[in-house]
Amino acid sequence: MPHLILVRHGQSEWNLENRFTGWVDVDLTSKGKLEAYKSGEYIKDLKFNIDYFFSSFQLRAINTLKLIQDTLGNKDEPIKAWQLNERHYGALTGLNKDEMRKKLGEDEIHKFRRSWDIKPAPLNRSNPYHPLNIEIYKKIPVEKIPDTESLKDTYERVIEFYNSDIKNKLLENKNILISAHGNSIRALCKFLFKLDNNKITLLEIPTGNPLIINLNSKQEILECKYLDKDRAKDLIIF
């Protein structure tokens, strides 16, 4: 029975500042680093080996995974995939969420954040926060780099990567850990839990709390739970 562990990165600098982050590359806060270490301790207590480690291209996910691997005493080279990046928030990128709520209204911001197929206005390509102007994305084909995304857009790239690079490893009974982001993990959960377009908008993903999913040979979920029960969120599966 393979185990899939999903970890949203620990608190980032822009999580703390309550800003729309998306594809901007910000690091962890001291609290975020502690959350990553704790994630590693919870995973270590499971007492089984992880065969493959995945992260997005983004520093907060990469460093969360590094701290987890340090805690596990694991030196394996992780697989980094831009397809596991956070959702691109378009013109909202870098803006304070509370200020935008005052400006646009709670309903409008909620629509942009949690609706299935509505995306914010595109981010100008000359903006320093645009992925085209961030060094880590220089190796990604330009046509693959978004100006903005809906949750649906994020879902499509995440699940395409899951089906091509992760699914077969699980079918081979390998244990996998993915360090990613709120919306890329939300996309994976929609796919694995078979959530409809309305339910997925209700799913909350806490930072630095490993979600372990046990699957059978048909990729059906046998069991899933957050390892830190005190900070668990409703999985709204059953």
pLDDT, one tens digit per residue, over 23-63 is 999 999 999 999 999 999 999 999 999 999 999 999 999 99
Mean pLDDT throughout 50-77?
A: 98
Q: How many CA atoms lie within 13 A of 135 on its CB side?
A: 2
Q: Is 176 inside a domain boundary?
A: no
pLDDT reading at 113 higher than 70: no
- The reply to whether 9 belongs to the active site is yes
Which 3 state secondary structure label does DSSP give 95? Answer: coil
- The reply to whether 156 belongs to the active site is no
What angle, rounded to 10 degrees, do the helices at 106-114 and 97-104 form? Answer: 120
Q: Is 42 inside a domain boundary?
A: no
Q: Check which CATH number belongs to the domain holding 103 and give it.
A: 3.40.50.1240
Q: Is 177 inside a domain boundary?
A: no
- The model carries a pTM of 0.94
Among 3, 86, 130, 149, the active-site one is 86
Q: Is 207 inside a domain boundary?
A: yes
Question: What DSSP string runs through 189-210?
Answer: HHHHHT--TTGGGG----TT--
User: Cβ neighbours of residue 7 under 8 Å, at least 6 residues apart?
Assistant: 39, 64, 65, 68, 177, 178, 179, 180, 208, 209, 210, 211
Q: Is 119 inside a domain boundary?
A: yes
For the chain, the average pLDDT equals 93
Q: Is 238 inside a domain boundary?
A: no
Q: Is 26 inside a domain boundary?
A: yes
Q: How many helices (H) does the chain have, and how many strands (E)?
A: 8, 6
Among 3, 9, 130, 181, the active-site one is 9
Number of domains in the chain: 1
> Which residues form the domain of 18?
3-35+50-154+195-231
